[in-house]
């Protein structure tokens, strides 16, 4: 079992550039979550999808952030334009049943983003 | 406003001794609590959970205690091993607006050989 796959693992970009993070959930899982980890705020939920449909995006910090899930095996998180304060580790996670918190979420290895 | 707080960013413990990691929460809607463990360059992995109908849950060397009146939970690791060195995240969820997981900021545990 490959687990949750994220790419790239590291991204360094300049302020103002567009950044796209990618995630492939575990096959058969129908819920997908995007989190951001910072030193100050820990792990924050940005958005989650159930059956490819965005359910709650209240954690998305601002309009510069957008996420899509065009099919059950792929999701993207896009930041346009990027700013230095977006520097963080971004995690994708998936779970198998309806996104209920009682269902264990499986996390990918994360994408470490640095915006200069 | 952080609803789940881990006030100790780091903890060092001698191998074989007990590690106690603490977590406080403020949202009364939380009724399910989890601990995740994270190694460097990896994503968090689920460790143990507890429902609010219990005050203790044990799994091998790991025990989670819940004190609902104090809105406090703790993770005990006995005995601690060097392989336990990691960042530990406390998380909580509940009903309604608290449905999704809310994580604390994490505690770095270092178990010294």
What are the pLDDT digits (tens) for B63-110? 999 999 999 999 999 999 999 999 999 999 887 766 788 999 999 999
pLDDT of residue A45: 92
**Percent of chain A surpassing pLDDT 90:** 75
Give residue A61's pLDDT band: very low, low, confident or very high (50, 70, 90): confident
**CB-based burial label for B41 (10 Å; 0-12, 13-18, 19+):** exposed
Residue of A nearest to B88 (CA): A42
Give residue A100's pLDDT band: very low, low, confident or very high (50, 70, 90): low
Whether B41 and chain A come into contact, CB under 8 Å, resolves to yes
Tell me the backbone φ, ψ of residue A62, rounded to 5 degrees.
Answer: -165, 175
What are the pLDDT digits (tens) for A37-56? 988 788 999 999 999 999 88
Residues B10-22, mean pLDDT to the nearest whole number: 97
pLDDT of residue A109: 96
Best mutation target, B43, B46, B99, B105, to test chain A (most A CBs within 10 A) = B43
Give residue B61's pLDDT band: very low, low, confident or very high (50, 70, 90): very high
Q: Which residue has the higher pLDDT, B24 or A1?
A: B24
pLDDT of residue A2: 80
Distances (CA, A) of A32 to A16, A45, B4: 27, 11, 22
């Amino acid at each position: 079992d490959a687990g949750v796959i994220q790419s790239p693992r590291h991204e360094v970009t300049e302020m103002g550039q567009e950044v796209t993070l990618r995630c492939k959930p575990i096959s058969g899982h129908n819920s997908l979550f995007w989190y951001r980890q910072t030193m100050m705020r820990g792990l924050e939920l940005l958005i989650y999808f159930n059956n490819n449909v965005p359910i709650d995006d209240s954690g998305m910090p601002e309009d510069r952030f957008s996420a899509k899930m065009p099919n059950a095996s792929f999701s993207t998180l896009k930041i346009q334009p990027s700013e230095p304060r977006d520097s963080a580790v971004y995690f994708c996670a998936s779970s198998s049943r309806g996104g209920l918190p009682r269902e264990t979420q499986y996390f990918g290895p994360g994408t470490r983003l640095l915006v200069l | 406003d952080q609803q789940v707080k881990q006030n100790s960013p780091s903890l060092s413990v001698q191998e074989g001794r007990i590690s106690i990691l603490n977590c406080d929460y403020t949202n009364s809607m939380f009724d399910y609590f989890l601990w995740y463990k994270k190694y460097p360059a990896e994503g968090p992995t689920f460790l143990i959970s507890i429902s609010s109908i219990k005050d203790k849950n044990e799994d091998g060397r790991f025990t989670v205690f819940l004190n609902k009146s104090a809105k406090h939970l703790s993770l005990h690791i006995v005995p601690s091993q060097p392989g336990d060195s990691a960042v530990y995240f406390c998380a909580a969820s509940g009903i309604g607006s608290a449905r999704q997981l809310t994580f604390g900021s994490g505690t770095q545990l270092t178990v010294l050989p």
